[in-house]
Chain A
Amino acid sequence: MSRAAARPMRVGATGLRSAGDGVVTLLAVVLAFAVGALVIAVSDDAVLESWGDVASNPLGAIEETVATVADAYWALLKGAILDPDGGSLQAVLSPLSETVVTATPLMLSGLAVTLAFRAGLFNIGGQGQAVVGAAGAAFVGFHFNLAPGVHLAAALAAGIVAGGIWGAVPGWLKGRTGAHEVITTIMLNYVATILIVYLLTHEIFRREGRADAISPLVRPDARLPELLGGDLRLHAGLFVALAAAAGVGWLLSRTTAGFELRATGLNLRAAQTAGIRPARVYVSAMAMSGGLAGLAGATQMLGTDFTLTPGVAGGLGFAGISVALLGRATVGGTVAASFLFGGLQAGGIQMQASTGTPVDLVTIIQGLIVLFIAAPLLVRSVFRLRTADGPPVAASTARGWS
Chain B
Amino acid sequence: MSAPAHAAEPTFGRPGSLARAGLALGALALLVGAGVGLGDSAGEETRFRLSAVAADVQLGEIAVPVGVCAWVCAAIIALVGVRAVTAPTLPRSAVAVAVLAATIAFLCWAAAGKTLNLAGLTNATVTGSLPLVLGALAGVLCERSGVINIAIEGQFLLGAFTASTAASLAGVWVGLAAGSLAGGVVGAVLAVMAIRYLADQVIVGVVLNLVILGLTGFLFNRIVVPNQVALGSPPGLPSLNLPGLSELPVIGPALFDQSIMLAIAVALVVGVHLTLRRTRWGLRTLAVGENPEAAQSAGVSVRGVRYRNVIVGGMIAGLGGVYLTIGSVGAFGPNISSGKGFIALAALIFGRWMPLPALVAALLFGFADAVQSTLSIVGTPIPTELLQMFPYLVTILAVAGLVGHVRPPAADGKPFIRA
Contact = CB atoms under 8 A, between A and B. Distances in A.
A and B co-occur in one complex: yes
Contact of A195 (B385, B401, B404): B385
Contacts of A377: 196-199
B408 A401 contact: yes
A224 B417 CA distance: 52
A173 B404 contact: no
A220 interface: no
Interface in A362-376: 362-364, 366-368, 370-371, 374-376
B141 interface: no
A52 interface: no
Given A175-B12, A178-B405, A322 B221 contact: no
Nearest to B153: A186
Contact of A393 (B150, B198, B343): B198
B297 interface: no
Contacts of A272: 8, 10
Contacts of A371: 193, 204, 207-208, 211
A60 interface: no
Q: Interface residues of A toward B: which range?
A: 35 or more
Contacts of B201: 400
A93 to B, nearest CB: 29
A179 B399 contact: yes
A187 B396 contact: yes
Interface string B352-394: 0000000000000000000000000000000101101100110
A400 B408 contact: yes
Contacts of A392: 198-199
Q: Interface residues of B toward A: which range?
A: 35 or more
A370 B214 CA distance: 14
A39 B213 CA distance: 14
Instruction: Name, among B214, B223, B385, B412, the residue most crowded by chain A CB atoms within 10 Å (CB to CB).
Output: B214
B383 A360 contact: no
B205 to A, nearest CB: 9
A282 B11 CA distance: 11
B136 interface: no
Contacts, number: 190
A187 B211 CA distance: 20
Contact of B199 (A368, A378, A400, A402): A378
A391 interface: yes
B400 A173 contact: yes
Contacts of A198: 383, 385-386
B56 interface: no
Nearest to B148: A400
A393 B218 contact: no
Contact of B396 (A184, A364, A376): A184
A33 to B, nearest CB: 14
A176 B404 CA distance: 10
Interface string B1-45: 000011011111000000000000000000000000000000000
Contact of A182 (B197, B202, B223): B202
B349 A277 contact: no
Interface string A36-51: 0001000100000000
Interface in A43-78: 43
A273 to B, nearest CB: 10
B326 to A, nearest CB: 23
A58 B6 CA distance: 61
A360 B221 contact: yes
B180 interface: no
Nearest to B412: A400
Contacts of A178: 6, 9, 11, 404-405
Interface in B402-419: 403-405, 408, 412-415, 417
Contact of A364 (B200, B211, B223): B211
B69 to A, nearest CB: 28
Interface of B: 5-6, 8-12, 148, 150, 193, 196-204, 206-208, 210-211, 213-215, 217-219, 221-223, 339, 342-343, 345-346, 349, 383, 385-386, 388-389, 392-393, 395-396, 399-401, 403-405, 408, 412-415, 417
Interface of A: 39, 43, 122, 124, 173, 175-180, 182-184, 186-191, 194-195, 197-198, 201, 268-269, 272, 277-279, 282, 318, 321-322, 325, 357-358, 360-364, 366-368, 370-371, 374-378, 381, 391-393, 396-402
Given A175-B10, A268-B8, 10 more contacts: A43-B218, A178-B404, A183-B396, A186-B342, A278-B10, A322-B210, A375-B204, A400-B5, A400-B408, A402-B6
